[in-house]
Structure 1
């Protein structure tokens, strides 16, 4: 069973509700959501890949004082 509380990893995606998802977890949900233990709460509002946008996360490389 896959859980919703997995840490975010690259690549990640977001939706219009300002929620973030792991790309692979979202694809697994869209293709076969029977693996998820709480499939009704995960992302029922996302039906197709057009509903999401790929995001980029940059590491903070500023020197600390």
Structure 2
């Protein structure tokens, strides 16, 4: 699953980047996810299925 969130969703005209949450059953090297969005200014959070993100990720 890939979920777009943040200002790119609710205020796209003011967004400076693209925030993505990737939930996967098969984790890859983080650099692979970065390569996939290399043409965009993107922040990516990758979680395994059933994993809970650390609180620091939720607070920003």
> Fold conserved (TM > 0.5)?
no
Task: Provide TM-score, normalisation by structure 1.
Answer: 0.19
Task: Provide TM-score, normalisation by structure 2.
Answer: 0.20
Q: Which has the higher contact order (CA 8 A, sep 6+)?
A: 1
Whichever of the two has the greater Rg, that structure is: 1
